Amino acid sequence: MYGNDSVIEQVVKRGIPRPAYYGKIAFSFLLVGIGDILTLVMGRVVSGPIVFIIGVYMFLAVWGYGTIEYEYIFINGDVEIAGIYKASKRREFFHFDFDHVIMIAPADSPELGKQKYQRRSSFCSKKSELKQYGILAEIKDRKELIIIEPDERSLAHIRMYARNKCYDMKSAGIIPAKD
């Protein structure tokens, strides 16, 4: 990178795990219980321990994925959104340029509600103190709605590189009204 690059990095920790996470944990406990029943009650020497081991393995594999942090990186108009699992495993969800962005608006904006898109992805903490914004972008020939919770520095970067694509941000205090 060069000395004049504009780089903003923000990490947002998700508050409550998704319901599917709890379903996987419950299913792993169910498998452990079925393995115990097969071994102890029914005397299944081979199938009982196998089901038990599968349940324990599934529990250990899923356990750390309840804690996830979302990382937003803005570099000179490029956006990268990634997830950090177990504080060490990183998975990139999206990487796009503001040239591919159709519009940016608060998530509850009527302009954003009028748009049609193929998939909606939320990378938020689910906390009420941060305002959520939607980025409608065309990625790999699909319209994607990406919901994020940018802080003030990230919003300043968005304002600098995608000013003409920001809608309904005057009322949110992001883009000052012209005098």
Annotate 32-56 with DSSP letters as a single string.
Answer: HHHHHHHHHTS--TTHHHHHHHHHH
**pTM of the entire structure?**
0.67
Burial (Cβ within 10 Å: 0-12, 13-18, ≥19) of residue 51: buried
Query: What are the C-alpha distances in Å from 147 to residues 25, 112, 126?
Result: 27, 11, 11
Q: What average pLDDT does this structure show over 98-104? A: 88
Number of helices (H), then strands (E), belonging to the chain: the values are 4, 8
CA distance 176 to 162: 15
**Predicted confidence (pLDDT) at residue 3 exceeds the cutoff of 60:** no
Query: What are the C-alpha distances in Å from 49 to residues 25, 56, 87?
Result: 19, 10, 32
Q: What average pLDDT does this structure show over 145-172? A: 80
* Average predicted confidence (pLDDT) for the chain: 80
Q: What average pLDDT does this structure show over 128-155? A: 86
Cα 107 to its chain centre, rounded Å, is: 14
**Predicted confidence (pLDDT) at residue 168 exceeds the cutoff of 70:** no
